[in-house]
Every structure is written in structure tokens, then in C-alpha cells.
Amino acid sequence: MVPNDFSWEVALRAALHNLEQWADKGIAPPQTSRIELDASLEVVRDADGNALGGLRLPYVDVPTARYVGALSESGMASIVGAKAPFDAAKLSALHQDHANFMRKFFFATDRALKARLILPGDAADMEAAAAQAKVP
């Protein structure tokens, strides 16, 4: 596991923008599902090891790693968390090649924009970062 590079600020900026829209114009913020939990209150994970439900950003929908929330000694979730990057074989199995990865990432970014989960400037930054991803 390595420190997480998942940008939570992207979601925060969109949430604050949506809050302003709600307060100023009466436009309700988008709804997202809660992170799924099983009967023992453990996070339910998809085939790639990422949480099901919750705020689905392109990082999770088109993954290059398994993301986890880290617990501090106090038991409170860290805002940073950690990730376990996928190896080249897993990345190839998921995305075939870099061009297909980018097609999927652009689609996921567009979906998040339309759902108002991210802002246009952040979408462009996320896409630029994805273009540098080490996907075969």
C-alpha cells in the first residue's frame, strides 16, 4: 500500500458549488448512494477491491488501484487513505491498452460532470492526470 493520491478536493469543490446553487437558486444538490456495508458493517467491494456505492468518481469507475480508507489510532478514518496500485497484468486485463483506458476515463468524467459530482476545471485536470497514468 502507498499513500492515496485520490483527490478528495475535487468532490469538495463540487459539493460547495452545489450548495451555493441550492442556497442561491433552489437547485437541489445531486444525490449519491451510501457506501454499501454488509451485515457485519464491513465495506462491500467490487471485483477490483473498491467500495461499492458512495460517490463514484472516475478514479473508482476506471481504476488503476484498489483504494482504501486508512484508520488512525483513534479509529477515525483518515481523509488520505491508501491505495494498492494494480500491476501491469491487472491493468491490461481491465483496460486492454492506454487508449481504451482513456476512452473509459473520458466517459466516466463526462458522466460525473453531468451528474454534477465534479466541476469542469477539475474534470480537465483529472483527464490530464489520467493521460499520464502508467497503463500499458
Rounded to 5 degrees, φ, ψ at 2 are: -130, 165
Q: What is the pTM of this model?
A: 0.88
pLDDT in tens, the chain (136 residues): 887 777 789 999 999 999 999 999 999 999 999 999 999 999 999 999 999 999 999 999 999 999 987 655 555 555 667 899 999 999 999 999 999 999 999 999 999 999 999 999 999 999 999 999 999 9
130 closest CA partner among 48, 51, 61: 61
The type of residue at 23 is A
Grid coordinates 483506458 are at which residue?
101
- CA 20, CA 130: separation in Å to the nearest integer? 29
